[in-house]
Chains A and B, each alone.
Chain A
Amino acid sequence: GDSVTQMEGPVTLSEEAFLTINCTYTATGYPSLFWYVQYPGEGLQLLLKATKADDKGSNKGFEATYRKETTSFHLEKGSVQVSDSAVYFCALSESNTGNQFYFGTGTSLTVIP
């Protein structure tokens, strides 16, 4: 079945450091891939998405490229800020499974000044 595996946290970085959060997936068809962000006490918010191979999603300085050959969708940011401290979830969906989403377990990021 479909699944998402993302790197375990917690991750602690200094402000302006480079961020990578790894995400790999298993899917039976051609999924769409997403990154969500969850700030403390809030629901999940869509950060970026990619719907086909080689697409790059980007938002707020974050980027992720849909790599079909390595079944990966790693999240990157060149210079993190304290305000980026949150939990990040990788997810996939396939239209042939009723648009069900499969979420990774989340990676907690703390950015220190």
Chain B
Amino acid sequence: NAGVTQTPKFRILKIGQSMTLQCTQDMNHNYMYWYRQDPGMGLKLIYYSVGAGITDKGEVPNGYNVSRSTTEDFPLRLELAAPSQTSVYFCASSLGLGGQPQHFGDGTRLSIL
């Protein structure tokens, strides 16, 4: 029972580089989310999706892009990496019904140098 799988687990980027953080879930959840967690802080929502082909901005979307071509996958794209994007990124999914919890991946630890 894999749940939510994120790859890679760790990555170091140079300023200006781009990369895609992968997220896939095998629970047939309609709703998926991307968060970032800065040291000692809570979670901030970057983007979310309520189903394939539908995405929307969260609290901190600048510098990121997402797509949702399938129910299972929700990749997060960084186009021009900046030091301010150094963080731990979490993907989550849920059924999207009232009272249903979000299920989290183990995170991607990203450093921009």
Interface: B48 (CB within 8 A): yes
Q: Select which of B42, B58, B97 is within 8 A of A99 by beta carbon.
A: B97
Interface: B104 (CB within 8 A): yes
List which B54-113 residues lie within 8 A (CB) of chain A.
Answer: 56, 58, 90, 92, 94, 96-107
Q: Which residues of A contact B105 (CB under 8 A)?
A: 43
- Whether A95 touches B98, Cβ cut-off 8 Å, given contacts A100-B48, A104-B42, is yes
Interface pair B99/A32, CB less than 8 Å apart: yes
- Whether A44 touches B97, Cβ cut-off 8 Å, given contacts A89-B42, A98-B48, A104-B42, is no
Q: Size of chain B's interface in residues, with CB distance under 8 A?
A: 26
Q: Which residues of A contact B42 (CB under 8 A)?
A: 89, 103-106
- Whether A43 touches B107, Cβ cut-off 8 Å, given contacts A98-B56, A99-B94, is yes
Least distance between A55 CB and chain B CB atoms (Å): 10
Q: How far is the CA of A104 from the CA of B106 in the complex (A)?
A: 19
Q: Which residues of B contact A41 (CB under 8 A)?
A: 106
Q: How far is the CA of A54 from the CA of B56 in the complex (A)?
A: 33
Select from chain A the residue with minimum beta-carbon distance to B4. A43
Q: Select which of B90, B97, B101 is within 8 A of A95 by beta carbon.
A: B97
Q: Which residues of B contact A105 (CB under 8 A)?
A: 41-42
- Whether A43 touches B104, Cβ cut-off 8 Å, given contacts A99-B94, A100-B45, A105-B41, is yes
25 residue pairs of the A-B complex, CB under 8 angstroms, read A32-B99, A41-B106, A42-B106, A43-B90, A43-B105, A43-B106, A44-B43, A44-B90, A51-B98, A51-B99, A89-B42, A89-B43, A93-B98, A94-B98, A95-B99, A98-B31, A98-B48, A98-B50, A98-B56, A99-B50, A99-B97, A100-B45, A101-B45, A101-B102, A106-B42
B interface residues with partner A (beta carbon < 8 Å): 4, 31, 33, 41-43, 45, 48, 50, 56, 58, 90, 92, 94, 96-107
A interface residues with partner B (beta carbon < 8 Å): 32, 34, 36, 41-46, 49, 51, 89, 93-95, 98-101, 103-106
